Chain A
């Protein structure tokens, strides 16, 4: 019950503030667009760096958007209501992570192949890019949520969150970008996608518990 109610509430909140959904997407597209300008417009060069560029941009977009996961709830006092409620925090935490990914992560996944095309990534790799982003971005949101739960209410929010979370993002980055490079070179991708799926399952099962613990710690418990 607390799960459904929380998902519903998060979706409702996002409808009232659509900028929260759109802004990370714009950020993602803009960061990717900086690379041809900064590096070179040559197709052969761009197609090589495309997987990494798209993944780094996606990672930063998730990181920046997930920072606000608990901010408004903390400032308004709604987070305290969540913490005193006689419900296990695991489900509401999972609900917040999933709803947040649906609203901010999924749009990135859908735009990913388009950006891949603009960076001259072989078209044959775009379905793998889509799948890899689909499996990888929820993991990024879940891991990011752990960092947010520990830094909620701290003044040094954003940069601190990046310091905590970016090293934890390395496996997703490596396998996510790696699988796209594999696909671009015509190599088999199933094994790597399976690894990304395993990371996703592990993070979705463990992260809500860590987020729950983190929220209690941040409240002073």
Chain B
């Protein structure tokens, strides 16, 4: 079971506006790993994550989720994706935003505890418009505690977070990997020697 990789890409290649973002990406990611997608601005980090999340379809080559190939399950059942925009409507409170997401994911959970854990106790019913950028990011990231999904695709999760927040999230990512999940995140921040990386933007994609 563990021998089968969770994610496998074959010769994945993507270009935008006549510019090749990356090519020849042959990548295997297994359960229990944390992968950082690194590279300079405009190297295609966000695009790669969006491709894996099924949001972007204009690429060559292929990628599969071998562990779920047998079952007919929608791979989106297994994915938790957080984009580089927090995805919160300013008019709604954190609680209302999260409740809609949970309904979309057909998951029953209580977001209150997670919000409290991220230091948002007392802000649950304040419209998101009056939260700071860091607080909004925390609200979005609270999904990591609420939603139960094996694969996390996080685009720039550390943006706008303070030092405490960064530590908190790092800890959560380690926990998830240790319990057999797969974390793929894009960032310049490499928080652990055990974190493996995909480096985009060079002549060739660098895997380590």
Binding site for B on A (CB under 8 A): 1-2, 4-6, 9, 12-13, 16-17, 72-73, 75-78, 80-87, 92, 216, 219-221
Contact = CB atoms under 8 A, between A and B. Distances in A.
Contact of B89 (A72, A84, A221): A72
Contacts of B89: 13, 72-73, 76, 78
Contact of B83 (A1, A77, A92, A221): A77
B55 A2 contact: no
A86 B85 contact: no
The 3 closest A-B pairs by CB, nearest first: A77-B85, A5-B103, A85-B104
Given A16-B92, A85-B105, A86-B76, A76 B55 contact: no
Contacts of B103: 1-2, 4-6
Centre residue among B87, B100, B105 by max chain A CB count within 10 A: B100
11 contacts: A73-B89, A78-B87, A80-B55, A80-B83, A80-B85, A83-B55, A84-B76, A85-B76, A87-B105, A216-B57, A220-B50
Given A16-B91, A221-B55, A76 B100 contact: no
B183 interface: no
Centre residue among B74, B104, B105 by max chain A CB count within 10 A: B104
Contacts of B101: 81, 85
A39 to B, nearest CB: 40
Query: For the complex, would chain B's binding face be called helix, strand, loop or mixed by DSSP majority?
Result: loop
A219 B55 contact: yes
Contacts of A81: 81, 83, 87, 101, 104
B124 interface: no
B1 to A, nearest CB: 22
Interface string B84-99: 1111111110001101
A12 B53 CA distance: 29
A83 B79 CA distance: 12
A84 B52 CA distance: 10
Centre residue among B53, B58, B87 by max chain A CB count within 10 A: B87
Interface string B47-85: 000100111111000000000000000101101010111
